[in-house]
Amino acid sequence: MKNKKVLIVAAHPDDEVLGCGGTIARLAREGNTVYTLILGEGITSRDDRRDRGKRVWEIKELKKQVERAGKILSIKNSFVFDFPDNRFDTVPLLDIIKTIEKIKKRVNPDVVFTHHHGDLNMDHQITFKAVMTAFRPLKGERTREILCFETPSSTEWNTSSPLNYFMPDYFVDISRTLKAKIKALKEYKSEAGTFPHPRSPEAVEIAAKNRGVQVGTTAAEAFKVVRIIYP
């Protein structure tokens, strides 16, 4: 892949790194342009009732982390929106779809990466659904590939049922960019966990090696193909 525009649509800050940080870095290095669209602010679910005012400072801080992580991965531009953290179900789906369509128009991507429908996290599920509608394969649609990434904890903590299980069929060798992924991840200080938390750097590294082993390399990221069109 070369000279392509790539858009990552994620629900919360750090999901883009967890899901496809290694692939982002690799695609950028190989001459593609990568954008991220982050829908939610990622903070206010800590409160029983959402009080955005109270959390303004933290939200701002988290946005800075998005920038720093983006720089490490050579992301061209990160669009961060303000949908309420872990409360996407209180927003009409159509509003989220229209937000994505706006960025889509601006970026005009060839390839889109987003969450998997089966994630335990409801915001991830809703993000996936909105992407599916925003990128319908109509005549003239430029986007030729839609791929879903896995998000540590959210993906594997749902039920062990075909309803939501992540069963990848597309693998990207990230043996040369795993380091960048881990470095970017560490920028998200406010989101960090310690091993064996699935989003701790050690756990993320083990997961990447484990995916690598499945396809004969030392580190990989795994994806589920939604649709590939060979135009």
Binding residues for its own copies (CB under 8 A) = 1, 45, 48, 86-87, 89-90, 92-94, 98, 117, 120-122, 129, 132-133, 136-141, 152-153, 156-165, 167-173, 195-198, 203, 206-207, 209-210, 212-218, 224-231
Give me the residues paired with residue 35 across strands: 7, 77
d(C-alpha 57, C-alpha 78), whole Å: 19
Give the number of other CB atoms < 10 A from CB of residue 169: 9
Give the number of other CB atoms < 10 A from CB of residue 201: 17
- Which CB sits closer to its own copies, 78 or 79? 79
The nearest distance, CB 140 to its own copies, in angstroms, is 7
- Which CB sits closer to its own copies, 78 or 180? 180
Give me the residues paired with residue 80 across strands: 38
d(C-alpha 153, C-alpha 151), whole Å: 6
The nearest distance, CB 60 to its own copies, in angstroms, is 23
CA angle (197, 15, 184) in 5-degree steps: 80
- Which CB sits closer to its own copies, 57 or 169? 169
CA distance readout (Å), 141 to 7, 110, 135: 15, 9, 8
- Which CB sits closer to its own copies, 25 or 207? 207
- Which CB sits closer to its own copies, 78 or 149? 149
The nearest distance, CB 93 to its own copies, in angstroms, is 6
The nearest distance, CB 89 to its own copies, in angstroms, is 6
- Reference 125, options 115, 133, 134; nearest CA is 115
CA distance readout (Å), 110 to 8, 21, 31, 43, 199: 11, 18, 14, 31, 29
- Which CB sits closer to its own copies, 14 or 173? 173
d(C-alpha 17, C-alpha 7), whole Å: 13
The nearest distance, CB 13 to its own copies, in angstroms, is 18
The nearest distance, CB 78 to its own copies, in angstroms, is 23
The nearest distance, CB 20 to its own copies, in angstroms, is 12
- Which CB sits closer to its own copies, 77 or 153? 153
Query: Residue 73 burial by CB count (10 A; 0-12/13-18/19+): exposed, middle or buried?
Result: buried
